[in-house]
Structures are given as C-alpha cells and as structure tokens.
Amino acid sequence: MGQLKSFRDLLVYQKLRSLHLDVHNETLGFPKFELYELGSQVRRSSNSAPALLAEGWGSRHTNIYIEAINRALGEIRETQHHIDVAKEKKYLSLTRFQELDSRYEECGRMLEGLHQSLSTWKDTTRTGLVVKEAPAEYITPPSKSLDHCFTVTLQLDESFPWLTAPLTPNTYHLTPTTTNP
C-alpha cells in the first residue's frame, strides 16, 4: 500500500462509512415510533465512528489521533449495543444482525491495530518527529537566564533604592492617627 494522503484512503474508514449507510437504510424500516428513538441513536453512533476518524486525521499530533481512534471504538461498541436492541425488538433478523455485528467487529479489530501501531509514535507529530514548542521571543535564552536575572535585579536595586528600602510608616509620609473611644 502506498502513502495515505487522506482519511478517505483508510480501509477502516471506508468500511465504517459503508456500514453507516447500511445501518441507516435498516433503520428506515423500523416502526415509525422508533425512527426518532432507537433509529436516531443507531444512525448517530454509526455515523460518529467514521466521522471521528476523519476528525482525528486532521490533527498533527499523534496523541490526538489516537484519542479519536479510541472514541471511534466507543462509537462502534455503542452501535453494536443499538443493533443488539434492534435484534431483540425484532427490527433486525438474526442473519442481518450477525452480518452487521461481524462487520463492526472487523472494524474494531482494524482500529485496535491502528491504535497499537500509532502508540509507538506517541508524543510525536504524524511525521514521526518529536513535537517541541519553539521558545517564545520574549524569553531570555537559557544560557544566561539565571546570571542575567541577578544582574538585572542588582541594577534595579542600585537605580531605585526605594524599592528595597524597608517599609516604615514615614516611607509614604503616613502619620499615625489616633482613634477616639
């Protein structure tokens, strides 16, 4: 397989998107009162798994992509729960349920494999290089930071002696006031 250029190139994304369309079509046969209950829930969760992969793909940071894969796995398990319920309510035949469930299991295994392979890249960008934030422009370079701080502090003390003078009531021309009982 060549280099992946888009989330659309991921086989697991293609399978999950196809599964969503199949599940969506199945829910259209649910009783009318279930279209906005179980039907809506299974459509949403089945669509979330491929959508999360697409969203995670857009991140430069591997950790965020791994988190998207974990969330997609959660959506797969949620969808499996919903199709379990649909089977129990007799909205899906046993054969159709088994076919959808086995396809979701396959996608789950594929995502687990993707997760494991990306985990070796943890704390990296997607190019495999360690992510390091560039120092901000206003920060003193580390090579002279401590000595430089001492020098600047001493210069301030000499230039503004009142900064380091001990505080007394007369420092700010305060006079004590007496209170009447």
Tens digits of per-residue pLDDT, 5-60? 888 988 999 999 999 999 999 999 999 999 889 999 999 999 999 999 999 988 87
Q: Cα separation of 63 and 126, whole Å?
A: 9
Q: Find residue 61's DSSP bridge partners.
A: 125
- CB proximity list for 13: less than 8 A, separation 6 or greater: 7, 50, 53, 54
**Would you state the pLDDT for residue 5?**
81
Domain at 7-119: CATH architecture: Up-down Bundle (1.20)
Copy the structure tokens of residue 24. Answer: 């969506």
User: What whole-number percentage of the chain has pLDDT above 70?
Assistant: 68
Displacement of CA 144 from its chain's centroid (Å): 37
pLDDT in tens, 82-128: 999 999 999 999 999 999 999 999 999 999 988 888 877 766 554 44
pLDDT in tens, 157-169: 677 665 566 655 5
Copy the structure tokens of residue 6. Answer: 């888009």
**Would you state the pLDDT for residue 130?**
40
**Would you state the pLDDT for residue 120?**
75
List the one residue out of 19, 170, 18, 163 whose CA is nearest residue 101: 19
**Would you state the pLDDT for residue 151?**
73
Copy the structure tokens of residue 72. Answer: 């997609």
Please state, rounded to an integer, the average pLDDT across all residues of the chain: 80
**Helix, strand, coil percent content, the chain, rounded in steps of 5:** 65, 0, 35
Residue 136: pLDDT band with limits 50, 70, 90: very low
Copy the structure tokens of residue 58. Answer: 């857009």
**Would you state the pLDDT for residue 128?**
44
Q: In this structure, which amino acid lies at residue 57?
A: W
Residue 149: pLDDT band with limits 50, 70, 90: low
CB atoms within 10 A of CB 74: 14
